[in-house]
Amino acid sequence: MSHLLGLIGSPALPLGTAGRYVAAAYIVAFVIVAAYVAIMALRLRRIEHALGELAADAHARHDGEDSISALTGERLEG
Amino acid sequence: MDSTQKPPARLLRTAWLPVTTALMIAAALALTFFYAPLEAQEGFLQKIFYLHVPLAIVTLCGFVYGGLLAIAHLRTREVRYDVRSYVAIHMSLIFGVCVLITGSIWAKGSWGHWWVWNEPTLDSFLIIMLLYCTYQPLRFAIEDRERQARYASVFAITAGAFVPMAMIVVRLAPQYVHPRVLSSANNLPAPMGATFVVALLAFSLLYATLWRLEVRVKLARFRLRALQRLALERAQAPLRAPLASPGAPLLVPSTASADRSSGRRRQLAERGEVIVP
């Protein structure tokens, strides 16, 4: 602990060395947030895809019911 | 979302937060690297301060916010508060990982060590993170949705109350190498203080933006699952009724629809939901 307390009073790191640490910290934070946003975008795309499938299914069923009612209507008339 | 709103109004309502966040982050980065003066002892390395400290503050506030939302859930039993609490804690965990990594990088540059085990600030933050790492396993170990939400809320409240207590205890600790910059207003010169405030606002807005995004994704998934269940029930309904009551009149409208019904029945049989005679 004492050698760490001694380090606090030591002179600043040169820009070349400190710059690498600063760049690493900012890049890591940016990459983590970007990865999170990418995962969320992927999930949203899956939800949209599933919603599209549901909508297509609902349309197909709706068309099927229309044709059934048309057929039964014809039979009743006949 | 109100579907009757005009598109520009809707766009304005949904886009203002991400746009403000992006502007604030750009402002914070500009102030950090072009306005805030170099610190006398650490020099350029101290620029990590404007990333690490705001992230840590937002993380801890997020954990407490998750606890407050959990209280709202236990009081009202509304699922939306449980979802919001879960997302608040999830976001804080992600920000917390950033805090640990950026802090370790800063410690390596400043102290020459990635981690100092007898430093109370570092240890207490790690303990809080490890505590919250048990939140998700605890939550998803319970199958019953209502019980899961209730237990998770109790956890979120208890752990959320632990966070400020841990921080108060840390500040009372006598020996540390971790600086106490925010203990007095005189510790930061005005340009550094202004940069720090802008960075804190920027990361708070980032947290709010991502929190809102995830809440929307989660709620959309819940609605989708409900729709899928409804669609499946409707698909089963015309098949189950005649199977359940053999005496009921069976309408066979056409060959095409009968083929479709038998196909649907086969699909349901594959899932074990009906028995094909």
Interface test with chain B among A15, A26, A31, A53, by most B beta carbons within 10 Å: A26
- Ranked by mean pLDDT, the top range of A69-78, B95-104, B134-143, B182-191 is B95-104
B78-136 pLDDT, tens digit each: 999 999 999 999 999 999 999 999 999 999 998 888 998 888 888 899 999 999 999 99
Q: Which pLDDT value is given to residue B254?
A: 41
Please determine, for residue B9, whether its predicted confidence score (pLDDT) is greater than 60. yes
pLDDT at B185: 59
In whole angstroms, give the CA distance from residue B96 to residue B102: 10
Task: Please give, one letter per residue, the 3-state secondary structure of chain B.
Answer: CCCCCCHHHHHHHHHHHHHHHHHHHHHHHHHHHHCCCCECCCEHHHHHHHHHHHHHHHHHHHHHHHHHHHHHHHHHCCHHHHHHHHHHHHHHHHHHHHHHHHHHHHHHHHHCCCCCCCCHHHHHHHHHHHHHHCHHHHHHCCCCHHHHHHHHHHHHHHHHHHHHHHHHHHHHCCCCCCCCHHHCHHHCCHHHHHHHHHHHHHHHHHHHHHHHHHHHHHHHHHHHHHHHHHHHHHHHHHHHHHHHCCCCCCCCCCHHHHHHHHHHHHHHHHCCCCCCC
Quickly count: other Cβ atoms within 10 Å of residue B148's Cβ. 17
Alpha helices in chain A (DSSP H): 2-8, 15-77
The confidence score (pLDDT) of residue A72 equals: 61
Q: Which of B208, B178, B156 is nearest to B20 (CA)?
A: B208
Position B172 scores a pLDDT of 79
Domain that holds residue A25: 2-77
The pLDDT-based confidence of B238 (bands split at 50, 70, 90) is low
**Partner A contacted by B232 (CB < 8 A):** no
Q: Work out how many domains chain A is built from and give that number.
A: 1
CB-based contact B135:B89 (threshold 8 Å): yes
Contact A29 B38 (CB under 8 A): no
Q: Do B253 and A72 touch (CB under 8 A)?
A: yes
> Of A11-25, B2-16, B50-64, B167-181, where does the model show the most confidence?
B50-64
pLDDT interval class at A5 (50, 70, 90): very low
B240 confidence band (pLDDT: 50, 70, 90): low
pLDDT at residue B179, as a whole number: 65
Taking CA–CA distances from B42, the nearest residue in chain A reads A12
Q: Is the pLDDT of residue A69 over 80?
A: no
A5 and chain B in contact, CB less than 8 A: yes
Residue B51 tokens, joined: 């990333």
- Pick from B38, B105, B210: which is nearest to A25 by CB? B105
pLDDT of residue B228: 85
Cβ-based burial of B260 (10 A; exposed 0-12, middle 13-18, buried ≥19): middle
Residue, of A77 and B59, whose pLDDT is higher: B59
Q: Which residue has the higher pLDDT, A69 or B163?
A: B163
First vs last C-alpha separation in chain A: 98
Q: Mind listing the pLDDT tens digit for each residue in B190-226?
A: 889 999 999 999 999 999 999 999 999 998 888 888 8
For residue A70, the one-letter residue type is A
Confidence of residue B177 (pLDDT cuts 50, 70, 90): low
pLDDT of residue B167: 84
Segment B21-77, tens digit of pLDDT: 999 999 999 999 999 888 888 888 999 999 999 999 999 999 999 999 999 999 999
Residue pair A57/B230 in contact by the 8 Å Cβ criterion: no
Among the partner-chain residues A18, A58, A72, the one whose CB lies closest to the CB of B45 is: A18
CA-based end-to-end distance of chain B:
47
Q: Please report how the helices B145-172 and B120-133 are oriented relative to each other, as an axis angle in degrees rounded to 10.
A: 180
Inter-residue contact B179 to B48 (CB < 8 Å)? no
B272–chain A nearest CA distance, Å = 21
Q: Give me the torsion for CA of A43, A44, A48, A51, rounded to 10°.
A: 70
Q: What gap in Å lies between CA B203 and CA A39, rounded to an integer? A: 20
Angstrom distance (rounded) from CA B96 to CA B109: 20
Rounded to whole angstroms, how far apart are CA atoms A48 and A36?
A: 18
Which of A7-11, B4-8, B30-34, B127-131 is the least confident region? A7-11
Mean pLDDT of B168-189: 70
pLDDT at B237: 73
Residue A57: pLDDT band with limits 50, 70, 90: confident
Q: Which residue of A has its CA nearest to B106?
A: A21
Q: Which residue of B has its CA nearest to A15?
A: B44
Contact B228 A33 (CB under 8 A): no
- How close A55 gets to chain B, by Cα (Å)? 10
Residue B112 to residue A7, Cβ atoms within 8 A: yes
Asked if B217 lies within 8 A of A29 by C-beta distance, the reply is: no
- The torsion angle over the Cα atoms of residues B13, B18, B19 and B23, rounded to 10 degrees, is 150
Calculate the average pLDDT of chain A.
Answer: 76
